Amino acid sequence: MSRRVSDLEGIAARYATFQAAGSISAVALVSGAAYVLASMSAVTLTGNGQMGLGDAGDPLDGIIEKYENDGYMNVQVGGYKTAPGVSGALPTAGDFVCVDGAGLVSKCATQTAAGRGPARAAYVDNTASVNTVQVFIG
């Protein structure tokens, strides 16, 4: 029996709790946790036990699964997960994936993703302004 690509979501998922960097907490305070999850979920390590939006080209280290009002968040740090992508900078399947500094994913400019174990695109949907990327976070 063959598997459809959409069935990869959640396979080998691993989670960890991190403190949210100030930029994420500020947006959550103004726009709410639901906005953070829907619009800016791609994060990278930004400090000791902390994840944030980072800068464009930083490696994708996780996808926010849940933001808590105490400034901590549950982050998927391994396995398959779908994330919002940058229109015009979407990777193709097999490309390394980085953050764009605003919570979206994009194709890495270099294949080493700043020297860390990069995430890779498994499936890209750029139809009708969907712009999502299913990534494998290694």
- Number of continuous H segments (helices) and E segments (strands) in the chain: 2, 9
Q: Judging by beta carbons within 10 Å of its beta carbon (0-12, 13-18, 19+), is residue 96 exposed, middle or buried? A: buried
Residue carrying structure tokens 């979501």: 9
Side chain identity at residue 9, one-letter code: E
Q: Nearest to residue 138, comparing CAs of 91, 51, 80, 53?
A: 80
Q: Regarding predicted confidence, which is higher, 112 or 105?
A: 105
Q: Is residue 116 part of a domain?
A: yes
> Structural domain tally of the chain?
1
Q: Is residue 61 part of a domain?
A: yes
Q: Is residue 2 part of a domain?
A: no
3-51 tens-digit pLDDT: 445 578 878 889 999 999 988 988 888 888 888 887 778 999 999 999 9
Q: Nearest to residue 113, comparing CAs of 59, 55, 62?
A: 59
Q: Is residue 19 part of a domain?
A: yes
Q: Is residue 13 part of a domain?
A: yes
If phi > 0 it is left, if psi is from -120 to 50 it is alpha, else beta; for residue 30 that is alpha
Q: Is residue 42 part of a domain?
A: yes
Domain limits for position 106: 7-137
Q: Regarding predicted confidence, which is higher, 117 or 134?
A: 134
Rounded Cα distance, 62 and 65, in Å: 9
Residue carrying structure tokens 């996780």: 62
The enclosing domain of 120 has a CATH number of 2.40.300.10
Q: Quick one: DSSP state of residue 112?
A: T
Q: Is residue 119 part of a domain?
A: yes
Q: How confident is the model at residue 66 (pLDDT cuts 50, 70, 90)?
A: very high
The whole-chain average pLDDT of the chain stands at 84
